[in-house]
A and B are shown apart, each in its own frame.
Chain A
Amino acid sequence: MPDTKSNAKTVVPEIHMPAVSLRRRVTDHVMTGLSVLTVALVLLPLFAIFAYLVYKGIGSINLAFLTQTPKPVGEPGGGMANAIVGSMVILAIASVLGVPFGIGAGIFLSEYGRNRYGDIVRFVSDVLNGVPSIVIGIVAYGLVVMRQKHFSALAGGVALAIMMIPTIARTTEQMLLLVPQAIREAAYGLGVSRWRTTISITLRTATSGVITGVMLAFARVAGETAPLLFTAFGNQYWNWKTDQPTAALSLQIFTYAISPFDEWHKQAWAGALVLIVLIVSAVAAVRIAVRHGTLAGA
């Protein structure tokens, strides 16, 4: 598979070269082989996970799973409808809180932050990206749960929002920087003020890129479990209040996976499949919407 077509485009004619010793040629082939082997080893678990997820998940998904709340142990049936809705509520809260700040910070970085202050914000947001999600959970616990005195969807949303902001800020910055300076200058030349240029020209030109960044951040937090453990907490029943403990798909998967019951294990697989399908379809839906211009005026 790997041959002279590789990206080293300069194929030196063999004739002009001194003979390459056998040892060096063998090393070359061995290392190439090893490198191919690593690719196989890395792709193996990926396919194993997806294959298993689909195989186990499809067998356990049924209408009841999508429409009912969990049943007590021993009773067959039951589902994760409340967790699916709960996840959506928490993610909606997170997006409402996190996206504007993230985009704002991104605008700051690209339009006003080409200086030392910008560098600080840039560095801090990169570092924030690496903060373990469970630590963010503790912070949201202290900020929201301690004040409200009980677990809530709001606390979960705050935790996820904190995780979204740095990611969105950095991707927005990169997307805005791709907009040619000439377009901005053209707007200034027409007498358009700077803020109007940023919103109506720069941001609008980069809309699809910015939305892609937002979706990346969304996909990243959508599957998060650790920060929800002691913020949203989980719930076996329907709950429509944002200040009450709320079920989340990922939490439910965790609870069921570490339980000793076969029936729950099946549900965990089904939940995992639904979670991945939801994440992928949310991302795909927004991408398609952006491509077809539905959101072009955003």
Chain B
Amino acid sequence: MEVQGPEVREGLLCTAQDRLPGGISREGSMTGRHELGRGYPNLSAAVRDNWLPSEGLASHPLDEHVADSHMDEPLLADIEDEYEGVCAANASSDEYSDVGEDVGGADTEVVFVKEGVCVFPTASRHQRILGRLSLIKQYNCLFICWLPYAAGAVQLEDASGAGQRGDAGGGNGAVESAKDRTMYAVHPIPLSDVRAIHKHTPPLGQHRITLTLATGVSLPSLHFQNGGIKSFLSCLREHGPLVRSADDPNTYLINDTTDPLQRSLFSLELTDVLVGRPPAGASSTYSPFAGPLAAEGDMSLRAQLSELVDRFQQLTQNARDTASSLFSGSMLMGAGGPMAEPHLTAAASTAAAAAATAAAASSTPATAAAPAGPAPDPDSRRSSLEASTDLGVFELIEGGGGAAAAGGSPWSRARPPPPPLSLAELHTFFDADGRMTNFSEFKQRVHDGGVEAEARPEAWKLLLGLHAPGSTRAERQEEVEQRRAAFQRLRSQWRTMLPGQEAKCSKWRERRTRIDKDVRRTDRGLRFFAREKSQAHNMLREMLLTYERYNQDLGYVQGQSDLAAPCLYVMRSAVAESGQLANADALGVEAEAFWCFASLMERMEANFCSDSRAMHAQLLALRSLVQLLDPPLYAHLEAHDCLNFFFCYRWLLLHFKREFGFEEVLRLWEAIWSGVPGLHLYLENWDFDGMLKFCVELSGRLRLEPLLRDADLLASYAAGAGRDIVATAMAGAAAAD
């Protein structure tokens, strides 16, 4: 495929040389790996001089994107920028294998290219070195190569960040990065020098691979920012011996000899850490298998562990920064409320949505037949997992969920959750006067284990701020009385309307009609609300009518009944009698339920505004989180034009109310409300990590009945624009029948 005229090639040549100051490996001798290219000068030259004259490269959007990346506003701009980068990469379908380009004479062929593969030289997310991963075939020998983009193209957010802090370290960052680029470059390494490839595909987080050389050296992880590991591996498999380790499905052994002894030794030693061994057939004076793990192996293990921890920190920090910048940037959620709590709720539920999305991703509807790339991965269908549900058969996206992935998650080893907080235990949080002595500990406890039904009314009132934690029992009793009186006053505003007055108030009549209709279609599956015109129905109706008067600017909006119903259910459970309540008791329950609902609405109000700005902001935040945490899913959604995330609309609006069983919703809500200590969720490192951790743990727990849960998630996933995917998948399945 001849694609470009000589003048363009000329330009490319210059660019290629600019990109590699100091030339290629022959000059470099900083590390062992630089010497690896030594035996292959021709190849190096071929790579340098004929660097991929493939279409799209001359003005690859990613290059432009990288070159423009000196931004003043690192956080937000980075997100935007990354986002565009991914878009651009997808738009140009840069992922392909078997390119068949003739680069360095008759016997050199680039068989795989993946743009935008990056290395994080430090734990700082600001220092990301973007580059191009390729597989090159020469004289029947396959080479792996990763080279960073040009000097100006390196992401130097660190430098701008330093500038903002007022020190003169901007230049330093640049120098360091330039050094890093050459240092981290993986110059063409013959596949025979590679011992193993370890694939890391966490359910949340960037997918990456680590190459371990025959010498035992592990190269820095290569991060695939928008997927592509699968095609990389399948391309490798086509061109060379690649065997999946029997013990660790994420480890691929290269040059695995047929010597069964060697192989079993290898798999024995390599289950936890990749330790190299001499190339097969080489006379080795050093064998890592001669005894217990040699010191070098230990180092390697430690290095890998610390790398893992670094990466993990980086990931959660990225997520936090994303949420932080979005929420502090838009300020929409806070506009309605006097406190920062709306931020908290919004951020928390967005994070939860991200986790749920990731969980759902494990069963994302398949459109295996319609990947955007020109060369569909031949391996994808064979190796992909499938999930069968009511809606059809779905492909499990690579790396998403599943027992294997969960087992690899750093969170899955966390201690089991404590039992729900009982009433007796709740009382241990109070002093003699009934003051809560340690509110944050209480919230943590709720967060970790939930609350037993008995203790729920009291716990919810504390969580929702109806009572100050420092209030005494007597004060709280008094507050209950006050709230009851206030509720009664509010309720009488509409109860005492005269017929003539009502006739003049069309808006009120319209809203009342709606409330009447909607109360009849809220949680009717629940026994509590099953019977029409029951006391529960009437209480729910009165709560909503009273709220309509209480917050006339907002008024009644559909969805409120879904939020009010659990409040009523929980407050009703505070009264022991079953069946019909006496009027006084009913008033008390209704009043407390109303104020719980009103407090919840303080947090959720922005979501219900007709301009939908808050919802759009949250959906945008969610999109960014998914992009960050689950690039393959993001790419999938993008390919199917679902990036508006409208399919999450109901999740966010109703706090996942329709997505889980009623009891689970109560548990989920109290966990969300407990949030994490401190109102400024996103300001503290631990907070967001904690929240994310919770979401993942929770979704794990909710998936105890995996099939049911998957079906639930899928059903909810299918709501909104996600239906497009489902439809496509179903159309595909139907067509295949």
A binds B: no
Q: What is the interface of chain A, defined by CB distance below 8 A to chain B?
A: none
